[in-house]
Amino acid sequence: METLLQLVNFNTKGYYFEGVRIKDAPRFVWRGLMIDAARHFQPVAVLKRNLDAMAAVKLNVFHWHLTDDQGFRVASKIYPKLQEQASDGLFYTQEQIKEVVRHASNLGIRVVPEFDVPGHASAILTAYPALGSKEGYPYSIERFSGVFNPTLNPIKEATYTFLENLFTEIAPLFPDEYFHIGGDENEGKHWDENKEIQEFKKKQQLKNNHALQTYFNIKLEKILKKLGKKLMGWDEILTPSTPKTAVIHSWRGKQEGLAQSTLIAAAKKGYQTVLSAGYYIDRMLSVTHHYSVDPIGNAVLTKEERKRILGAEATMWSELVTPQTIDARIWPRTAAIAERFWSAKKITDINNMQKRLKVINFQLEELGITHIKNRDVILRNISNHQNIEALKALSKICEPLKIYSRNKGGTEYKTFSPFTLFADACSADAEDAVAFNHQVQVFLASNNLNSLQQIKISLKKWSTNYVDFQKHKQTPITHALEPLSKNVSLISELLHGSLLSKKFTKEDQSISKQLIKQLKEPCQDVTLVILDSLNKLVHFCTTNYN
């Protein structure tokens, strides 16, 4: 059905399908998107519209991250303190969970829940501190981002009773056979500080905390098996003792001591595997980067090993997103990632992908995705509802800081930070920057006059943008952006004049050097992504117009 919808064409008389023959099948059976509803709660309406978008690009697994240090998001009738004390009142009722699962099922999407244990347990232990590994510790819902010490106690029988009762209650809400237990980023600090746990390790001949966590996971695997569920966990759960029925979710890529990525290593050892390394869309890397990552790469696999690689997932961790911004962080990049999961390995033409992505971008908006309109909402908010054209022009050449360099250390922002800043209006693929960088590349490679004309048009537009920026009363946020706007205009004006006059004096060179230096510094959590191209044009002018 989605293929047919993509093929709808039209003329002045009506809409129609072209006469075509379709021969198509997915490369991977598991084509997923993980949405973290724990760090920032995502209401049902947000999930539904993203499920609609997933179906449109033929993703078929919704991985729902429901618990973490910042909140426990599922109502429990057996353990009501979980929603009363560990959710800030932001949780899904069991009826809402059924509603989301029904909506997904109608779209052909399976729903895999994740309850992250034994680490990332601050919220759980806020409600039930007796299950913790450090007696007397002041457990509370975590407000910052990062990796924290609160961890379930793996030697207490009460821990397993709690998890078995909870999973017995919750598992029927999710008909799918896969059940994700997280298992990541447990550094075991509280285990190391607990004498009883250390004695238990010696008695059980468990060499380290990794072995102790495997002991914990084996117990969980048995609990889930009784419930008709298959245990799935992040690649930290992969040890020699891990049952072969477990599904290994590779997120760290190639690890120390492994010749291959954890995905390939697990498949070769007999485990079913799913990949997320390379598809962490919260890292704000470009669509080109993600599209260039192949789930299997050049690994040599037997037929059976290949069969164990179920597929891959894009992961939307939500430390820095809210319901207002999450769509723009997922889409449209995930449409390109979805193609990587579906199409043959040889489909790698980036220019062709970007051409088609422009069409998909607007089709996603038709489905209710808010990634386009909410940029303007945020910019209007920033400007106190004044004209936003100058801000919009700036946003189209800036991108948020990448790979977690925004919110370094996890303490710049807190759970209830609004995320309505300029960086939140910028995307991972600044559209005008992508076009400009391409034209500069073409011009410098072949002295293409058409590209030169497009470069001049862009530089002219940016050279006057600061004048427009200054026309409006400055708010604290726009005032902080003023140096960026001014310097972009100054260097654009300088380069535009040089390309017209074919003159570039020593003074021009000196001024350009200073402006480039200032523009290299991040401003308000964004970077200027035309900077490299501007620098290349400076070099070109210096070399040719001296």
Catalytic residues: 185
Contact call for residues 113 and 92 (beta carbons, < 8 A): no
Q: Tokens 């992961």 — which residue?
A: 315
Neighbour tally for 464: CB within 10 Å:
15
- Give me the half-sphere count of Cα atoms (radius 13 Å) on the Cβ side of residue 79: 26
Contact call for residues 426 and 398 (beta carbons, < 8 A): yes
Q: Which class for 57: exposed (0-12), middle (13-18), buried (19 or more C-beta within 10 A)?
A: buried
> What's the CA gap between 209 and 197, in Å, rounded?
10
Tally DSSP H helices, then E strands, for the chain. 24, 14
User: Which residues on adjacent β-strands are paired with residue 309?
Assistant: 273
H/E element, 315: strand 309-316
Contact call for residues 107 and 77 (beta carbons, < 8 A): no
- Complete DSSP assignment for 457-505: HHHHHHHTHHHHHHTSPPPHHHHHHHHHHHHHHHHHHHHHHHHHHT---
Based on its alpha-carbon atoms, the radius of gyration of the chain, rounded to whole angstroms, reads 26
Q: Tokens 């207002």 — which residue?
A: 324
Neighbour tally for 220: CB within 10 Å:
24
Residue type, 55: A
Helix (H, G, I), strand (E, B) or coil at 199: helix
Phi-psi region of 185 (alpha: psi -120 to 50; beta: other; left: phi over 0): left
